[in-house]
Amino acid sequence: MSAAKAKTATKKPSTVVTDLTPHYAVILSPVITEKATNGSQHNQVTFRVLRAATKPQIRTAVENLFKVKVKAVNTHNRRGKTKRFKGRIGYRSDVKFAVITLAEGSRIDVTTGL
């Protein structure tokens, strides 16, 4: 009994949450498709984001992570599809995309990372 109590008493402290942690949680990954790369001609970048993220949260996350000025944020929810493979039914996940239009002079290179 006393060993179990001692084990719970020496629990490690939780990790420190920094100011950038929520921003990293909102932006999941860049979208690199033909349609998304064509948007770069119009100063646009496309990201996969959390489904619960709002446009203001996405705007502040992009501005703080990449140090750019955001002109507009457009979002798109894609519902998951039911797919069949060798008679088995599978389901693709629901995904939310954000198309970020940057202000003139701002640029994000998604191939280099942060």
Please determine, for residue 19, whether its predicted confidence score (pLDDT) is greater than 70: no
Q: How many residues does the chain have?
A: 114
Q: Which of 10-14, 33-37, 57-61 has the lowest mean pLDDT?
A: 10-14
List of residues 6+ apart from 107 with CB closer than 8 A: 43, 68
Q: What is the pTM of this model?
A: 0.75
With a cut of 70, say whether residue 20 has pLDDT above it: no
Sign of the dihedral defined by the CA atoms of residues 19, 54, 77, 85, in that order: positive
Q: For the chain, how far is it from start to end, CA to CA, in angstroms?
A: 49
Q: Is the pLDDT of residue 104 over 90?
A: yes
Could you give the domains of the chain?
Answer: 18-102 (3.30.70.330)
More confident residue, 18 or 107: 107
Using pLDDT thresholds of 50, 70 and 90, give the confidence band for residue 9. Answer: low
pLDDT score for 52: 87
